[in-house]
Structure 1
Amino acid sequence: MNSPLSEAVIAGADAAALESLPLPDHFPAACVRADDVSMFEGVEDKDVRKSLSVWDVPMPELAPDEALIAVMASAINYNTVWTAMFEPLPTFQFLREMGKAGGWQARHDLRYHIVGSDASGVIVRTGSSVRRWKVGDHVSISPAYVDEQDPDTHHDGMLGLGQKAWGFETNFGGLAHYAVVRASQLMPKPPALTWEEAAVNPLCASTAYRMLVSDRGARMKQGDIVLVWGATGGLGSYAVQLVRNGGGVPVGVVNSDEKARLLRSLGCDAVINRQEVLGGDDTLLRRPEGWKKMGRAVRDAVGEDPHIVFEHVGKATFAASVFLARRGGTVVTCGSSTGYEHTYDNRYLWMRLKRIIGSHGANLHEQCEVNRLITMGSVVPALSKTYPLAEVGAAARVVQTNQHIGKVGVLCLAPRPDLGVTDPEARARMGEERLRLFRG
């Protein structure tokens, strides 16, 4: 049963009503436990349904620069899968390091880890030093957890030594009824979107924005050909939209006809089905004969080699990415879902004057820029399916086994999908069919 405060949030109560109700002592949250970190030793299939489950956890105390969010919806990202697999290392190591810092950081060092790096919801409490936000505000959450007193943070929030991924390297994440965030993570929720549509965007959309559009990334310009691996996945689906919006030419790589059709409906005219190009043998992506087949496929599609390769797959594709980028081209990478140890032929990098750019998350300015594009309807949510919080293990398993497209949402306090729209006229202008493209 929900607490009176939770019921008031669901009912749309005003700020005065929310402030008058007490916080619940405990709340449901998706967690992994420190006692389980060795459960997958010697196991080939590290099934996250066995390690990720919903527990009743105590309400944490709020620091002066933080807000308490009643989470209406959240989403699954691959960092939640890593956390639930306890790879490449158990995230309790991150929480212990936070605990050593003392002060408010010590709260994070617990025997359970509340996960989740995306969320939308309602502010129900603010700390004493929060200025720009108030109880009752509808918000989306940036996953960039930064130290505002670090000088490097003021150059770029992602460069500060204390920068962390919320809900992955910190506790009290978004896959829960309540979440603790710093005020510097808050953004206005796009009013035309439902709770679950708003929840799935922040991490992936902002990461793609920084990789492609920001002056800290590949600095894509009009006419640039951009090869996008996993173009209907969480990152790729936003990358394709940003490339098209910026006057570039997206070349989307997928592995099925169904995904190819979806990609074309998203406006990506150049689509490569790697199953057809490689004859179903993805191991060719690690060998020159496979690289050359992909290169021919790109040139057949658009007539040129790519200026930019949008890389996040890692070990399985990185050698191909370095080869495929044109002379003087750029490989921009933000992750390695298939493995971190990359092997590639360095001759294609140095002799052809290519660049590799590392990119991680997005600072608050970049987050807000892409949130503005989403609010305008220039970028649409990649939500494909929604699960209730009670089935969070199953939702994470779908992402772990790559059985999804776009983003997988999770309803937390929202009792059902399709709630939370406060500007139906803007939604009508955007178009219901377009907003539901990934759920088609």
Structure 2
Amino acid sequence: MDALAEAVVGGATPEQLERIPLPQEYTAAHLRAEDVGMFGAAEDKDVRKSLRVGQVPMPELAPDEVLVAVMASSVNYNTVWSAIFEPVSTFGFLKKFAATGGHAARHDLPYHVLGSDAAGVVVRVGSGVRRWKAGDHTVVSCSYVDDQEPATHGDGMLGAEQRIWGFETNFGGLAHYTFVRASQLLPKPAHLTWEEAASTTLCAGTAYRMLIGEHGARIKQGDIVLIWGATGGLGAFAVQLVKNAGGIPVGVVSSEAKAEVLRRLGCDVVLNRAEIGLGEDSPRTPEATIELGKRLGRAIRDAVGEDPHVVFDYIGRATFGISVFVVRRGGTVVTCGSSTGYQHEFDNRYLWMNLKRILGSHSANLQEQWECNRLFRLGHLVPVLSSVHPLDEVGEAARLVQTNQHIGKVGVLCLAPEPGLGITDTALRARIGEDRLSPLQSLSA
């Protein structure tokens, strides 16, 4: 550990942090451009083979950027996509970004530092940064936007130059240090540990925009919301948001163990895919999709008496046709991803003739992230962290996500020497309660 990192871990003052020189290199989880074709036609593209942990050079800080010493991060599915170089190699993203010029040119390198979540301590600020200073505790939003682009001021996610940090940019959060724009920073919830705080922004913010924000489904009290993959990082936050909004979450999971997790989260209705014949993700005929949709619809009506107003779908090919069928007349299917495949098939008659909507959603703008983070700071939302790994075992952590052997979020300790550190509001933590703040820690999938 370098001198600056040691000072951060040791609780140095802001003045002390500013006096310590930056190291020339730092430890980071990264990919190498030379490995892009390593998997070929292999059926199992094991991310443990492509993810490396080692030293990378410390780049220059841009005027609108903040250098954060990362105490903890977490694994998202975009880490898996990056590490298997599919659907495209992320090195193409870095070249495209670099072509915009200026400080963006730094990002086109023969290595790619990954990670789209982080919690840590500010150690340097660029000359154009006003609202953040050395010593501040922060969490990082993954939405990397150009504040000089007009569309950004209407909705940060609509700007053509919007990117996902650590996926479409370099210098991500699975590292000892990360470079982020000041417009990505949010105050760290003071009652959370580093690893808890680092597990919230990407998935919770994405779910907030999909369900609550003005650009999403805008659920209301009493709405029935079907949530696929309800114990995953996105799904577990979706369950909490629906409950907080006065809705009725209906969670779908793949095993009885995950069903028990979902009950612990307070989900009103829990459906095991296998028990209603939805266990296989392999391609199926249109007729089979409709039959499975009817079966799922009956199960939901048996439980709550009505069809769902909203379906929360990030699973993709395996579920999307069912989602379109099962949502009620005038209802909305909101999607933010396709972990089982991007090519979706559905019977359009059930969409147009029943006036249903499909709503695409991606990450969250800074205001949505701020509102979601506020819910964590108030204790209305809690982390869904199930396991924590050291940075040098990031390959194993990512493999859990790749093979769907995880529940909730998988955390990664970067500079934090052990779990449980970073709490500065012990009174609020005591009021909320350890059991509520760690609902998944004692369970496994």
Q: Report TM bin, short chain.
A: over 0.9
Q: CA deviation at 1:376?
A: 0.7
> 1:84 aligns to what?
83
Distance in 2 (CA, whole Å) between partners of 1:334 and 1:385 is: 24
Report the secondary structure of 1:437's partner residue.
Answer: coil
Distance in 2 (CA, whole Å) between partners of 1:408 and 1:366 is: 23
Q: CA deviation at 1:375?
A: 0.8
Distance in 1 (CA, whole Å) between partners of 2:121 and 2:341 is: 37
Q: CA deviation at 1:269?
A: 1.9
Distance in 2 (CA, whole Å) between partners of 1:280 and 1:154 is: 44
Report the secondary structure of 1:294's partner residue.
Answer: helix
> 1:228 aligns to what?
227
Q: CA deviation at 1:265?
A: 1.5
Distance in 1 (CA, whole Å) between partners of 2:337 and 2:252 is: 17
Partner of residue 319 from structure 1, selected from 293, 318, 321: 321
Do the aligned partners of residues 199 and 279 (structure 1) sit closer, same or farther apart at CA in structure 2, a change above 3 Å counting?
Answer: closer
> Where does structure 1 lack aligned partners over 5 or more consecutive residues?
none
Of all paired residues, the percent bearing the same amino acid is 66
Superposition pairs of residues 247-258 of structure 1, within 5 angstroms: 247-258=246-257
Matched-pair contact (CA < 8 Å) for 1:226–1:306: yes
Q: CA deviation at 1:279?
A: 6.8
Deviations 1:294-323 (A, max 9, x none): 111111111110000001000000000000
Report the residue type matching 1:216 in the other structure.
Answer: H
Deviations 1:353-400 (A, max 9, x none): 100000000000000100000111100001000000000111000000
Distance in 1 (CA, whole Å) between partners of 2:54 and 2:342 is: 32
> 1:426 aligns to what?
428
Superposition pairs of residues 264-413 of structure 1, within 5 angstroms: 264-278=263-277, 280-283=279-282, 287-413=289-415
Distance in 2 (CA, whole Å) between partners of 1:321 and 1:344 is: 9
Report the residue type matching 1:341 in the other structure.
Answer: Q
> 1:201 aligns to what?
200
Do the aligned partners of residues 185 and 222 (structure 1) sit closer, same or farther apart at CA in structure 2, a change above 3 Å counting?
Answer: same
Q: TM-score, normalised by structure 2?
A: 0.97
Distance in 1 (CA, whole Å) between partners of 2:11 and 2:303 is: 50
Distance in 2 (CA, whole Å) between partners of 1:217 and 1:386 is: 31
Distance in 2 (CA, whole Å) between partners of 1:221 and 1:215 is: 12
Matched-pair contact (CA < 8 Å) for 1:74–1:411: yes
> 2:122 aligns to what?
123
Matched-pair contact (CA < 8 Å) for 1:195–1:414: yes
Q: CA deviation at 1:281?
A: 4.1
Matched-pair contact (CA < 8 Å) for 1:271–1:301: no
Report the secondary structure of 1:31's partner residue.
Answer: strand
Matched-pair contact (CA < 8 Å) for 1:305–1:325: yes
Q: CA deviation at 1:262?
A: 1.5
Report the residue type matching 2:173 in the other structure.
Answer: G
Distance in 2 (CA, whole Å) between partners of 1:223 and 1:156 is: 28
Correspondence 1:14 to 2:13: yes
Correspondence 1:439 to 2:438: no
Q: CA deviation at 1:244?
A: 0.4
Report the secondary structure of 1:55's partner residue.
Answer: strand
Q: CA deviation at 1:280?
A: 3.9
Distance in 2 (CA, whole Å) between partners of 1:328 and 1:230 is: 23
Moved more, 179-188 or 254-263: 254-263
> 1:165 aligns to what?
164
Distance in 1 (CA, whole Å) between partners of 2:358 and 2:334 is: 6
Distance in 2 (CA, whole Å) between partners of 1:280 and 1:177 is: 40
Do the aligned partners of residues 419 and 186 (structure 1) sit closer, same or farther apart at CA in structure 2, a change above 3 Å counting?
Answer: same
Matched-pair contact (CA < 8 Å) for 2:293–2:326: yes
Correspondence 1:62 to 2:54: no
Matched-pair contact (CA < 8 Å) for 1:26–1:56: yes
Distance in 1 (CA, whole Å) between partners of 2:228 and 2:379 is: 24
Distance in 2 (CA, whole Å) between partners of 1:352 and 1:368 is: 36
> 1:188 aligns to what?
187
Report the residue type matching 2:377 in the other structure.
Answer: T
Distance in 2 (CA, whole Å) between partners of 1:281 and 1:145 is: 36
Report the secondary structure of 2:156's partner residue.
Answer: coil
Matched-pair contact (CA < 8 Å) for 2:278–2:292: no
Report the secondary structure of 1:134's partner residue.
Answer: coil
Matched-pair contact (CA < 8 Å) for 1:30–1:115: yes
Deviations 1:227-256 (A, max 9, x none): 000001000000000000001100000111
Q: TM-score, normalised by structure 1?
A: 0.99
Distance in 1 (CA, whole Å) between partners of 2:281 and 2:172 is: 35
Q: CA deviation at 1:165?
A: 0.2
Report the secondary structure of 2:351's partner residue.
Answer: helix
